[in-house]
């Protein structure tokens, strides 16, 4: 069985939950790497990158499959919205990422690490996505 057929056999909500859980664990590892006695930075970095890769595979395969279920007359619109969302996400990530990194590392806020903030935002994304109704044209 190929990984793609295994992932597509998992319900959509579970794929989203697994993908974002991997992101949360990866960002948490980046936060704690080098700070916890038995977690050297290089090991934490390697484990985090591995988790990010697994999350990307899970979410990308599922997103591509969901896009294939869109009615033929709406495919262009669907891909347009997907590309718009990717562009806006990239813009926000590039624009706010370095600002947050410099501000949080020198602050006394409860969340003083950009990696911990990303873990919290990933948890929030799961909560938001679980509350969104499924689109009526997607049956899987």
**pLDDT one digit per residue (tens) for the chain, 140 residues:** 566 788 888 888 888 888 889 999 998 888 888 888 888 888 889 999 999 999 988 888 887 777 777 888 887 887 788 788 888 888 887 777 777 777 776 656 556 677 777 888 888 888 877 776 555 544 44
Give the model's pLDDT for residue 137. 46
Residue 138 lies in a domain: no
Residue 35 lies in a domain: yes
Give the model's pLDDT for residue 64. 76
Give the model's pLDDT for residue 140. 46
Domain that holds residue 49: 3-131
- At how many degrees (to 10) do helices 75-105 and 114-131 cross? 150
Residue 29 lies in a domain: yes
Tally of structural domains, the chain: 1
Residue 136 lies in a domain: no
Answer whether 48's CB lies under 8 Å from 30's CB. Answer: yes
Residue 105 lies in a domain: yes
Residue 140 lies in a domain: no
Residue 137 lies in a domain: no
In b/e form, how buried is each residue of 22-49, taking b as 16+ CB within 10 angstroms? bbbbbbbbbbbbeeeeeeeeeebeebbe
Distance CA 132, CA 112 (A): 30
Q: Which residues contact 134 (CB under 8 A, 6 or more apart)?
A: 12
Residue 11 lies in a domain: yes
């Amino acid at each position: 069985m190929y990984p793609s057929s295994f992932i597509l056999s998992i319900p959509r909500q579970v794929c989203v939950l697994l993908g974002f859980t991997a992101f949360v664990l990866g960002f948490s590892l980046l936060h704690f790497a080098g700070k916890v006695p038995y977690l050297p930075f290089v090991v934490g970095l390697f484990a985090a990158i591995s988790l990010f890769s697994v999350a990307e595979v899970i979410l990308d395969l599922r997103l591509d499959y969901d896009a294939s279920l869109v009615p033929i007359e709406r495919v262009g619109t669907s891909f347009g919205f997907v590309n718009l969302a990717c562009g806006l996400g990239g813009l926000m990530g590039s624009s706010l990422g370095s600002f947050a990194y410099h501000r949080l590392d020198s602050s006394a806020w409860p969340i003083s690490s950009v990696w911990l903030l990303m873990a919290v935002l990933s948890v929030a994304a799961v909560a938001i996505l679980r509350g969104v109704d499924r689109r009526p044209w997607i049956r899987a």
